[in-house]
Amino acid sequence: MADPQCPFNPEQDGAQMSFDGRMSYGDYLGLNKVLDAQAPLSTAHDELLFIIQHQTSELWMKLALHEMAAAKMAITTGDLPQAFKMLARTSRIFEQLNSAWDVLRTMTPSDYTTFREALGQSSGFQSYQYRAIEFLAGNKNAAMLRPHAHVPKVHDWLVKLQIETSLYDEAILLLSRSGFELDETALNRDFAEPYQANDSVRSAWIKVYKDPSQHWPLYELAEKLVDFEDYFRRWRFNHVTTVERVIGFRRGTGGTSGVTYLRRMLDVVLFPELWDLRADL
């Protein structure tokens, strides 16, 4: 029987304790780079919170992009079970991103003013990963490429995402391949432009929803897309309320109108027919 007064030694249970020449947990995760990446520009206590909030959000966005790109490919190739898994994971990622706003909201307006000037012209508005998520989801806007023109590699990547099909474009093409009659304007459009709701697409999705058992894979795909947009909308809303709570209606550091600009984004609908059809059922 173990002596309750004697501290447990994991080495006696087989745990590796020496890592001279071996890969450790910190080595595998590159923790030296990750934990050295926070470099506050002021002495303000809350600047570290602000940096970590945004850096961790960018890490989650990196994973979201990984999953969204794979889901798009799975829809294209007809591997819908894989697409369902990846879209479900993307929704959970945005649930994590939503929870992160709760931590940032502990920062008061007074706290923020202690380091706001150190931010210069930097702003979350300039996040190229967020822009990539928007483009992959279908919210294409060529004007949003300009903040990234100074980094050719990033700019070229975003242009590629802009001109390619989005997740929803691939879902619509799948509807056509599944036998639904769709207008040419929905199938052969300029994918670099924002998607506009189409009556033939709406009619097709209504048929899917009126007979789920007959069209179960498409029905489940539609619901997975709605789940994703639901969580994405919540993220946008929480962004707005957090910014309003911290800076009110003051202009953003990147020059945008701040809360007013973010509220405008709340009106963007990614998959319009999937929401509109609910009134017809």
Q: Which residues are annotated as a binding site for heme?
A: 239
What angle (nearest 5°) sits at the alpha carbon of residue 281, between those of residues 208 and 178?
A: 10
Tokens of 26: 């910190």
Instruction: Give, in order, the Cα–Cα distances in Å from 122 to each of 117, 118, 144, 148, 254.
Output: 10, 9, 15, 12, 6
Q: Which sign does the torsion angle of CA 37, 41, 42, 43 carry?
A: positive
Q: From CA 42, how far away is CA 118, in angstroms rounded?
A: 7
Binding site, annotated residues for substrate: 50-54, 112, 116, 253
Helix or strand (DSSP H, E) at 209: helix 199-210
Q: From CA 239, how far away is CA 268, in angstroms rounded?
A: 15
Binding site, annotated residues: 50-54, 112, 116, 239, 253
Q: Are 101 and 239 in contact (CB under 8 A)?
A: yes
Q: For the beta carbon of residue 155, count every other beta carbon within 10 angstroms.
A: 16
Helix or strand (DSSP H, E) at 251: none
Q: Are 231 and 95 in contact (CB under 8 A)?
A: yes
Instruction: Give, in order, the Cα–Cα distances in Å from 34 to each of 98, 128, 129, 142, 144.
Output: 22, 19, 18, 32, 28
